[in-house]
Amino acid sequence: MGSDMLELNTHQIQMNQRVADKTEALAQLADALENGGLVASGYLEGLTAREAQGSTFLGQGIAIPHGTPATRDKVRSTGVRLMHFPEGVDWGNGQIVHLAIAIAAKSDEHLRLLQLLTRALGEGDITDALRTATTAEQIVDLLQGAPQALALDSQLIGLHLPVEDFDELVWQAGRLLKKAGCAGSGFASSLSRAQALPLGNGLWWLNSEESVEQPGLAFVTPDSPVEYREQSVVGLFCLASVGEAHRQLLERLCDLLIEGRGDVLSQATSSRVVLEALGGEVAPDWPHIRVTVANDHGLHARPAKALTEVAQSFDGDVRVRLAGDEGRGVSAKSLSKLLALGVRRGQELEFLADPAIADDALPALSAAVVAGLGEDVRPLPAPGDAVLATQEEIAECEPAVAALARGARIQAVVASPGIAIGPALVRKPLQLDFPEKAQDAAHERARLDKALAEVHDDITRLIANSSEKSIREIFVTHQAMLGDPALREDVDARLREGLSAEAAWTSEVEAAAQQQEALRDALLAERAADLRDVGRRVLANLCGVESAAEPNEPYILVMDEVVPSDVASLDRDRVAGILTARGGATAHSAIIARALGIPALVGAGSAVLGLEPMTPLLLDADHGLLEVAPDTEVLRRAQEARAAGLRRREQAEALRMEPAVTVDGHAVEVVANVGSSGDAEKAMALGAEGIGLLRTELVFMDHPEAPDQAAQEAEYRRVLDALDGRPLVVRTLDVGGDKPLPYWPMPAEQNPFLGVRGIRLCLQRMDILETQLRALLASAEGRPLRIMFPMVGTVTEWRTARDLALRLRQEIPVADLQLGIMVEVPSAALLAPVLAKEVDFFSIGTNDLTQYTMAIDRDHPTLSAQADGLHPAVLRLIDMTVRAAHAEGKWVGICGELGSDAAAVPILVGLGVDELSVSAPAIPLVKARVRELSNAQLQALAAQALTLESALAVRALVEEHC
């Protein structure tokens, strides 16, 4: 599977061909495609049929012969073959072709190629250059050589911006370039290092080549002049520079300044004036109409041609652009320009017509598009069943699972960031019904033999198809499990007892898996998961149910909900990404996915369970977006983004040991959340400046009975040793609620999250808290120790716990000790001004704080996705806590999952949080993120976030500004 990309290269081109006529040219092209293994024989019929429907002549000596839907099944893989005819071939109507590009495409992958081609054709006429070309390299250069044009349109102009200083003006310009897709996130910080040049008249110029995605020029003016190097600034040009793309513009700007007309720019009150002065793209102020394209394959050559014919029938200019694009559009009379728009089904076009013809032309164009431009079209989904379904919309249509259409985009909750691309493997709980007993043991044995043999063969195929060694090894192990004689013996014994093959097999596989798990060895426990996996395959075969075939390339695992044990047993090499219908970002499975570094989206709604097996998916867990069967262009961009993400990670990792300091010198401490004493060392190696949350209950859970003081001391010492003098923030035992301890039975509660948990439980069992505090104090041995109590909701709880710690400290002195609380119950945040006078620090547990503020169970299968810590209600509580602490000279950390959310970091830093405690793998990226930001701007941003109405609005604000 994977995407078929259409690329042009010299090997595809046969130069200097001579043919008698078009028929012979098509035959040779079909042969070239067939010899290249792209099509099966018989494709020529498709090429010929397509020409009979309408010539594929594109203009400028180029034709693009391709097949019809009827011959699509002859396409083996998507690709092109090119033939160069210096003497020319008459393609009908006297149109002479010097270059034929024969396309084999299974669907509409070729639209991207057309877009590229037609961009090249847009600039000047290349007919002659094609005819006289002597090498394949020349042809490729001609087709791909169109330089990237400089973007300059109204969205890149910001006039009279309310900025306080030059830096802010620069930042605004960077923001416009970023929003227009010209620059990536490192661009703004590269600008702050660049030297601005004065152009005279108060106009300044600044440019950078770093993190530029396409050339673009922004122009911004302040609402009142600002100072830079003791000179006044009334306007700033900011260039995202690539090669020579800006040359023409610069020349024009110089002419303007030499003519003494610089104030046209600095005093401009509309972007139109600026664009006209600089020759940028000005959209005509003409009547316009919008219409949506419904053709299955978008505006490909044939419908585009039909559209040009309608436009050409009017005597005046007709322009067209994608709706929402503010540029001047392209001529609707030009086939190549129309194709260059790359319009897909479902996209909306906007036609603009010269006022003299608009009354007639606009309705005619719209009607032609609605009628399908000569093709039969399927109606577009009504707005109510839009393909862009939000999570809530999908949740509403539960339980019916509607399949998702190709091109559908779904918003979901980011559980673990990153971008993953791969085929879907939908794992639904199999509904397998089988009889417990059977009459004929021999018959059951034969059935089982057959099932085992078939599953063995299936796995052999998987091994043969798998390019990854590690995956092959797993499958080989699975085969060994199928043939395990001891297992078989046990199963046979069950068959003799009269059990059915299904019942005998399942019960013995489960017993064997449990035996392995009981050995308490991580490796063997993983084997148990494998055993169950194989067991399910065989059972499905016995029941005649096809279990989803495992793709032979890294795939996206689609499930209803992933439980922590599922995630923990996942193989990073096989699972490229995780997508779940239900669940939220702070569920423990999400925390594990993050620790494993597997991109994951959760809470996408049950429609994802209706995905066809092997559907190609793009899981963009950097933006919380899933795309179903994305087109090649989207994939290409995602692959680039993924590569950029990997580069970003590499760069971040290279600098992981450096402190996290904003561009304007504000330091934020970045420390790690760890669950077991063994993880501390790993966290330090990843750049942690300390540990901000040691979840000690995991230490307790690792022991079969309550660990005594000595056992605990050993664990805490191990952590402090790894820290090598860096501070350790320990949370005292936080059990109850969702985290029961097997050896500490608790009465069942109606609402465990609102029951006896965290500090409440410890205050009922002071002996346990005392032992833990003693162990902590004893292990410190002069090293910095901070102890915090979880789930504190009242001042009394805090004081009781503190008094115990202070009493014990008299017995076991610790030089560098701080005592604080976790702020994870709204009452603690609301009481922060009181508590701040007594505590040494606060650490905000946003997972629980969000749960209790929003009244949404953090593990709730469908609601938890809405429990977003960036909700302004939660942010206000964080703000109150930080203000209260700082007023008393105390520090505040964040130890919930929000701290590693790239969108949340700017807001948390802006709110004044002093420390971010995040899962270890996130440390390098969180540090890198802080280094990109300017604290002064973040404060304003955070203040604005507090005034918004929803988490979504806060996320949009961050997306826009950072």
* C-beta neighbour count of 884 within 10 angstroms: 22
Least CB distance from residue 917 to Mg ion, whole Å?
12
Please tell me whether residue 627 adopts helix, strand or coil conformation: strand
User: Binding ligand PEP by CB under 6 A: which of 334, 500, 632, 847?
Assistant: 847
Question: Which residue in this structure is represented by tokens 């063995």?
Answer: 456
Peptide bond into 399 cis (omega under 30): yes
Report the partner that residue 695 touches, choosing among ligand PEP, Mg ion, none (CB closer than 5 to 8 A by kind). Answer: ligand PEP
Nearest approach in angstroms of CB 826 to Mg ion is 13
Residues that bind Mg ion (CB under 5 A): 824, 845, 848
Looking at 79-87, 411-419, 541-549, 842-850, which segment touches ligand PEP (CB under 6 A)?
842-850
Instruction: Pick from 208, 846, 864, 866 the residue near ligand PEP by CB under 6 A.
Output: 846
Matching residue, tokens 């520079």: 241
CB 89 within 8 A of CB 25: yes
Closest CA to 1 of 573, 630, 427, 644: 630
Output 66 or 757, the one with its CB closest to Mg ion.
Answer: 757
Q: Which two tokens stand for residue 589?
A: 């499975």
Least distance from C-beta 854 to Mg ion, angstroms? 14
Least separation in angstroms between residue 746's CB and ligand PEP is: 17
Q: Which residues of 250-259 are buried (b: 16+ CB within 10 A; e: fewer)?
A: beebeebeee
Taking the complex as a whole, the smallest distance from the CB of residue 845 to ligand PEP amounts, in Å, to 3
Residues in a beta bridge with 212: 183
Site for ligand PEP in 687-706 (CB under 6 A): 693, 695
Residue 846: contacted member of Mg ion, ligand PEP, none (CB under 5 to 8 Å, by partner type): ligand PEP
Does 864 sit near ligand PEP (CB under 6 A)? no
H or E stretch at 358: helix 355-370
Residue with smaller CB distance to ligand PEP, 548 or 902: 902
Task: Compute the least distance from the CB of residue 899 to ligand PEP, in Å.
Answer: 9
Q: Per CB under 6 A, does 924 bind ligand PEP?
A: no
The residue whose Cβ lies closest to ligand PEP is 845
Closest approach of ligand PEP to the CB of residue 588, in Å: 8
229 HSE (CA, 13 A, CB side): 6
Closer to ligand PEP by CB, 840 or 848: give it.
848
How far apart are alpha carbons 338 and 828 in whole angstroms?
A: 61
Strands (DSSP E) contained in 39-165 are 57-59, 62-63, 79-90, 96-104, 157-161
Binding of ligand PEP at residue 845 (CB under 6 A)?
Answer: yes
Find residue 102's DSSP bridge partners.
81
CA atoms within 13 A on the CB side of 320: 31
474 with 571: CB under 8 angstroms? yes
Which is closer to ligand PEP, CB of 491 or CB of 829? Answer: 829
Residue 824 C-beta: closest distance to Mg ion, Å: 5
Pair 246, 314: CB distance under 8 Å: no
Is-contact 608 404, C-beta < 8 A? yes
Part of the chain binding ligand PEP (CB under 6 A), chosen from 146-154, 318-326, 647-655, 845-853: 845-853
Comparison of 588 and 765: residue with beta carbon closer to Mg ion = 588
Q: For residue 153, give every residue at least 6 positions away whose Cβ sits within 8 Å of its Cβ, in sequence order, or none.
A: 180, 275, 280, 281, 326, 327
Residue 264 beta carbon to Mg ion: minimum distance, rounded to whole angstroms? 59
What is the SS3 assignment for 1? coil
CA distance 556 to 254: 53
Measure the CA–CA gap between 87 and 8, rounded to whole angstroms.
23
Does a cis peptide bond (omega within 30 degrees of 0) precede residue 740? no
Contact 110, 66 (CB under 8 A): yes
Other residues' Cβ atoms within 10 Å of the Cβ of residue 889 = 7
Query: Per the structure block, which two tokens stand in for 898?
Result: 């929000």
Tell whether residue 848 is a contact of ligand PEP (CB under 6 A): yes
Whether 245 and 278 have beta carbons less than 8 Å apart is answered as no
Q: How far apart are CA 2 and CA 177, in angstroms?
A: 32
Closest CA to 176 of 225, 236, 127, 133: 236
Please list every residue from 794 through 833 that binds ligand PEP, using CB under 6 A: 824
896 binds, among Mg ion, ligand PEP, none (CB under 5 to 8 A by kind): ligand PEP
* Pair 466, 472: CB distance under 8 Å: yes
Cβ atoms of 557 and 427 closer than 8 Å: yes
- Per rule CB under 6 A, is residue 226 in the interface with ligand PEP? no
Is 896 an interacting residue with respect to ligand PEP (CB under 6 A)? yes
Determine, following the binding rule CB under 6 A, whether residue 895 of this chain makes contact with ligand PEP.
Answer: yes
- Residue 583 vs 845, nearer CB to ligand PEP: 845
Nearer to ligand PEP, 51 or 824 (CB): 824
How many other C-beta atoms can be found within 10 angstroms of the C-beta atom of residue 861?
Answer: 17
> Which residue number, 531 or 918, has a Cβ lying nearer to ligand PEP?
918
**How many residues lie near ligand PEP (CB under 6 A)?**
9
Question: C-beta of 504: minimal distance to ligand PEP in Å?
Answer: 43
Q: Binds 726, which of ligand PEP, Mg ion, none (CB < 5 to 8 A, cut-off by type)? A: none
Least distance from ligand PEP to the Cβ atom of residue 869, Å: 8
Catalytic positions are 66, 300, 588, 895
Tokens read off for 758: 């965290």
Interface segment toward ligand PEP; rule CB under 6 A; list 79-87, 139-147, 397-405, 841-849: 841-849
- Tell whether residue 793 is a contact of ligand PEP (CB under 6 A): no
Residues contacting 780, CB < 8 A, separation 6+: 720, 814, 816, 817
Residues in touch with ligand PEP (CB under 6 A): 693, 695, 824, 845-848, 895-896
